[in-house]
Chains A and B, each alone.
Chain A
Amino acid sequence: MAEKTALDVPFMEVNSELCKGCQLCLAACPKSVIAISEKLNSSSYHPAFYTGAECTGCGLCFYACPEPGAIRVYKP
């Protein structure tokens, strides 16, 4: 069996510049794999970020997020 590549693993990612820090994605995530950064972005919001593991690619955070370009979810 071939080795797992990055494309075989689901993930979500946050465009930290577009995120307004509303935390609705955190509330929507069934796996609690999203957190809020302590850093501020250029618009003075604390953006969300993916903690790096266990995302299932369900997409619920994408639909919970009001910002069109802030969240991208990849599901193999």
Chain B
Amino acid sequence: MKTYEKSAGFFPVFERKSGPAKDATHYCPGCGHGNVHKMIAEALNDLGLIDRSVFVSPVGCSVFGYYYFNCGNFQAAHGRAPAVATAVKRTNPQAIVISYQGDGDLAAIGTAETIHTANRGENICVFFVNNAIYGMTGGQMAPTTMIGQRSTTTPHGRIEALHGNPIRMAEMLATLPAPTYIERVAIGDSKHIMKARKAIRKALTIQAEGRGYSFVEIVSACPTGWKMDPVHSRDWLIEEMLKVFPLGVFKDESENRDENSWLRRCDAYDPAKVDEYLDRLKSTLGDAAPVALTNDLHCKFAGFGGQGILTLGLLLSQIGMRAGQHVSWFPAYGPEMRGGTANCSVNVCGGRIGTPLVDTPNLLVVMNQPSLDAFADQVIDGGTIIIDSTIVEGRLDSTRLRQVLIPATAIADEVGTAKVANVVVLGALVAATDCFPREFCEDTLRAAIKKRSLVDMNIDAFGRGYEFVKNAR
């Protein structure tokens, strides 16, 4: 006895839809996506994989995959599904991860992700639904649109000289050494469909057995975009599309790959090893009991490239980290190593940090004039601006901000090198905010500065900056 019916791989009810047919998909009549969805859901359920599967939906008509598949779901930015799938797989090696994409998503917007994910041989399945058009947005030309094929952006048909040739992704990816299995199938007649079903099951089995990357291209119909009725669209697919996109297996290394072929790659990305590395990073700063933070700091540090602006941000972050606080450091700089402008955002907070960006700082450090001009207005009322008065001639006439002037570069020259001006500023910052005790900061600096010969000079610079501000009060 056998019953063909809606697979348990689908949710019983599709919450997406309003209206009478609540359990129907949002797809147009005759759309190939529904067929592919059915085969994937059936395979995941039959192979016993559904409970550990993660379906990554793309942008395109199949963006709502997460309303249908009764498993873990992600919805990726346009074209980035294989990158998201890579992350899911590497952080959850036991998960069965599916990157489901259309031709606009996979072959145009996400070409880079597509190729590099295949090239790394990630142990995932990519199901590529190729209907030769941008379906969701109304039928524009896609990379897979065929020569002569009309679309809204090629109303007289695609022309090779103007638009290039359709891209054959399966053939292209088959030239790479890493992929395990690459096949092109079609949702044409029943024979094609049953072959497609087999290919999908094979790809999922390969992943479940840890044998590596599979890519199944599924040539599919878009009756609405093609302006045809569903039955005619399947005929047209068989007659026209299969000439340009021939069916077949382009690569099959599944017999030559075992579980270890992928695990060897996966080992390098063991999450435990990443944690271990981060712990090691922490421990190089020396163990310390948590130190209370007086006020959350949301800082912007800005100046010329080469002044040590980014390092200043890192040092404060390390002090906060060693104190057991939440920290973030986010740099922004131009291509110049020196002479350009650089800034970084630093958060040091008692609680979790939502975003590493600091758009409205409560503390601004400026080490050149353009930075003062650019960022002073962003500081919140009652905030503090620390200005390297050796370099910055401008002063604020604002009373809404606290202004701390310190000739950091001149002090650094006295210490021995202008390079430690950033550490002079750090001393001034700690003195001006009383964020952490002086000794605690100095201990952290001793651990954080890698070159032992430079430790004393930096401690000196820090102390002078600190004293300058304390004495000026």
Partner-B contacts on A (CB < 8 A) = 17-18, 20-24, 26-28, 41-43, 45, 57, 59-60, 62-76
Q: A24-B231, A42-B21 are in contact. Are A63 and B38 (CB under 8 A)?
A: yes
Bound complex: CA A18 to CA B231 (Å): 18
Q: Tell me, rounded to whole Å, the shortest Cβ–Cβ distance linking B2 to chain A.
A: 5
Bound complex: CA A73 to CA B193 (Å): 17
Cβ contacts under 8 Å, A18 to chain B: 21, 23-24
Which one of B1, B7, B19 lies within 8 Å of A75 (CB-CB)? B1
Q: Tell me, rounded to whole Å, the shortest Cβ–Cβ distance linking A26 to chain B.
A: 8
Q: A45-B29, A72-B3 are in contact. Are A66 and B38 (CB under 8 A)?
A: yes
Is chain A's binding surface mostly helix, strand, loop or mixed? loop
Bound complex: CA A21 to CA B229 (Å): 11
Bound complex: CA A76 to CA B40 (Å): 25
Could you tell me if B23 and A23 are in contact, using CB atoms closer than 8 angstroms? no
Could you tell me if A60 and B190 are in contact, using CB atoms closer than 8 angstroms? yes
Bound complex: CA A74 to CA B229 (Å): 28
Give B19's nearest chain A residue, CB to CB: A43
Query: Considering residues B7, B23, B27, B32, which has the most beta carbons from chain A within 10 angstroms of its beta carbon?
Result: B23
Could you tell me if B2 and A66 are in contact, using CB atoms closer than 8 angstroms? no
Could you tell me if A63 and B29 are in contact, using CB atoms closer than 8 angstroms? no
Number of interface residues, chain B, beta carbon within 8 A: 38
Q: A24-B234, A64-B193 are in contact. Are A57 and B34 (CB under 8 A)?
A: no
Could you tell me if B20 and A42 are in contact, using CB atoms closer than 8 angstroms? yes
Within 8 A of A (CB), among B294-311: none
Could you tell me if A73 and B3 are in contact, using CB atoms closer than 8 angstroms? yes
Partner-A contacts on B (CB < 8 A) = 1-7, 10, 19-21, 23-25, 27-35, 37-39, 41, 68, 189-190, 193-194, 197, 223, 229-231, 234
Could you tell me if B2 and A57 are in contact, using CB atoms closer than 8 angstroms? yes
Cβ contacts under 8 Å, A68 to chain B: 6-7, 10, 25, 34, 37-38, 41, 68
Q: Tell me, rounded to whole Å, the shortest Cβ–Cβ distance linking A66 to chain B.
A: 3
Bound complex: CA A70 to CA B4 (Å): 11
Cβ contacts under 8 Å, A41 to chain B: 20-21
Cβ contacts under 8 Å, B21 to chain A: 17-18, 41-43
Cβ contacts under 8 Å, B193 to chain A: 60, 63-64
Cβ contacts under 8 Å, B30 to chain A: 20, 22-24, 66
Could you tell me if A66 and B32 are in contact, using CB atoms closer than 8 angstroms? yes
Could you tell me if B35 and A66 are in contact, using CB atoms closer than 8 angstroms? yes
Bound complex: CA A41 to CA B20 (Å): 9
Q: Tell me, rounded to whole Å, the shortest Cβ–Cβ distance linking B46 to chain A.
A: 14
Cβ contacts under 8 Å, A74 to chain B: 1-4
Q: Tell me, rounded to whole Å, the shortest Cβ–Cβ distance linking B119 to chain A.
A: 33
Cβ contacts under 8 Å, B32 to chain A: 66
Q: Tell me, rounded to whole Å, the shortest Cβ–Cβ distance linking B229 to chain A.
A: 8
Which one of B6, B31, B35 lies within 8 Å of A63 (CB-CB)? B35
Bound complex: CA A27 to CA B4 (Å): 18
Bound complex: CA A75 to CA B21 (Å): 27
Cβ contacts under 8 Å, A24 to chain B: 30, 230-231, 234
Give B193's nearest chain A residue, CB to CB: A63
Q: A66-B27, A66-B30 are in contact. Are A76 and B37 (CB under 8 A)?
A: no
Add 18 more A-B contacts to A22-B29, A68-B7, A71-B4 (CB < 8 A): A17-B21, A20-B28, A22-B30, A41-B21, A43-B19, A43-B20, A43-B21, A63-B190, A66-B25, A66-B27, A66-B33, A67-B24, A67-B34, A68-B6, A68-B10, A68-B68, A69-B10, A75-B2
